[in-house]
Structure 1
């Protein structure tokens, strides 16, 4: 999943969360992903801006980033 595109921490948290999984465990996994460089908010923002800036205005890109966390 991480090889296809960059994800925000919130997107991955939403995908990994379930009633059977403890939230602290999900946070620990996400922390480990950040430590290993597999998850980066900076790369996520850069990727969204790069792909959207030519087609959409700054306000829409900013709105989309806020929605994705």
Structure 2
């Protein structure tokens, strides 16, 4: 006997029970399963009205998952790809800026742990941190090996 087809609302609640989703992301997922006559936008509005779908919670969740491994530019780009914009994005950027140098030092310490002695190794370490989305200032500070010094 085949499994019963889930309604669009049941699918949305199932997705949201697994993890937080942005409105844009959940809308894309639900659009694949929408049948004629289903109004995905109305369902998303209903979920937001009942606080089951929250852009703020999604943003905090994404930042919490990514902050230990990635820099500000990478996290902000991912937030933008999920439809977070405007003043909310500016506030999130400001919060991320406060901890970027410390996060870069932690990532560098976990991956390398020792200050590079030759230029090839130094470039490798810099590329690694830059690809993770850290700013040049944070990378320079982390590459010194002493997170207490922030005078570059």
TM-score range, shorter chain: 0.7 to 0.9
Q: CA RMSD in A?
A: 1.6
| Match of residue 13, structure 1, among 27, 38, 42 | 27
Change (3 A) 1:61 1:28: same
1:54 and 1:7 map into 2 onto residues whose CA distance is 20
Q: TM-score, normalised by structure 1?
A: 0.87
Task: After superposition, give the CA deviation of every residue in 1:32-64 in whole Å (9 maximum; x if it has no partner).
Answer: 000111000000000001111110001000011
1:64 is aligned to 2:78: yes
Specify which structure has the bigger relative contact order, considering alpha-carbon pairs within 8 angstroms and separated by 6 or more residues.
1
* 1:32-51 equivalence runs, <5 A: 32-51=46-65
User: After the TM superposition, which parts of structure 1 deviate over 2 Å for at least 4 consecutive aligned residues?
Assistant: 18-23
Change (3 A) 1:48 1:21: farther
Secondary structure of the structure 1 residue equivalent to 2:18: coil
**Unaligned segments of structure 1, at least 5 residues:** none
Aligned-pair CA distance for 1:28: 0.5
Q: TM-score, normalised by structure 2?
A: 0.42
